[in-house]
Structure 1
Amino acid sequence: MTSSTQRKDARMELRVTADQKQVIEEAAAIEGRTVTDFSATTLVERAQDVILRERQLRVEAEQFDAFTALMDQPARSIDCLRDLMNRKTVFVD
């Protein structure tokens, strides 16, 4: 079921200026869509962009190069970690 055929069971209301309303109605008409469909789709797309931007990890090229150089180095042996991994588990199998 696509988003346009899903049952719409939640409601949102917002107040806009007369100029904003006119622009939104004109844009919806140009695309041959209802104001509700145009507005909801546009709001969801913008919300997804905001969420993605917030969740993306951004690293400067110099920092990324330093990170990858560290990751490319051979693993170090850490005695206490090796001992821990060799202990009998405290969890019941």
Structure 2
Amino acid sequence: MPRAVERKEYPLSMRLPETDIAIIDRAAALRGRSRTDFVRDAAVRAAEDVLMETAPIRMSPAGFKAFMAALSGPATPVPEMIELFQRAAPWETKAFSSEVDAGSREENASKQKGGSDTGG
């Protein structure tokens, strides 16, 4: 006679407003996940974050001394970070401004074609 397999999952029930369900369903669909999978992953990730925030870090006295020495020492420049901070931000470039302007013009043109009355 076959033995019953012990189930190792536990049910979790929540009451949520319709607006919360709609947001969750939309996000889950964007990720290609079911509502259950999406909520489970989000809840587990949030729980892990809380646990990591409160987990003590243990080290030997020698390890702590080396850690403090590294923190107290002079900063070492990272060439990639220097280059990144010297680069113009996307919104500071002419190409970006042109794309934004073109998008605004297209949006305004479609609004005017929609027959909105501006009273003029």
TM-score by structure 1 length? 0.51
Matched pairs, number: 56
State the Cα deviation string for residues 2-52 of structure 1 (Å, max 9, x = none): xxxxx7621101111111110000000000000000000010001000011
Partner of 1:44: 44
Alpha-carbon distance in structure 1 between the residues aligned to 2:28 and 2:8? 19
What percent of counterpart residues are identical?
33
2:37 aligned partner, one-letter code: D
Post-superposition shift, 1:55? 1.5
Task: Quickly say closer, same or farther: Cα 1:47–1:40, change in 2 above 3 A.
Answer: same
Structure-1 residue corresponding to 2:18: 18
- Which structure 1 segments of 5+ residues have no match? 1-6, 58-63, 70-93
| Off by >4 Å, runs of 4+ in structure 1 | none
Please state how far the C-alpha of 1:56 moved relative to its aligned partner.
4.1
RMSD between superposed Cα atoms in Å: 2.5
Q: Which structure features the higher share of helix residues?
A: 2
Matching residue of 1:35: 35
Deviations 1:32-82 (A, max 9, x none): 00000000001000100001101145xxxxxx88xx58xxxxxxxxxxxxx
User: Measured at CA, do residues 8 and 24 of structure 1 come closer, stay the same or move farther in structure 2, by a change above 3 Å?
Assistant: farther
Aligned partners of 1:24, 1:8: CA distance in 2, in Å?
26
Structure 2 unpaired stretches of 5+: 1-6, 58-63, 70-120
State the TM-score, normalizing by the size of structure 2: 0.40
* Partner residue in 2 for 1:54: 54
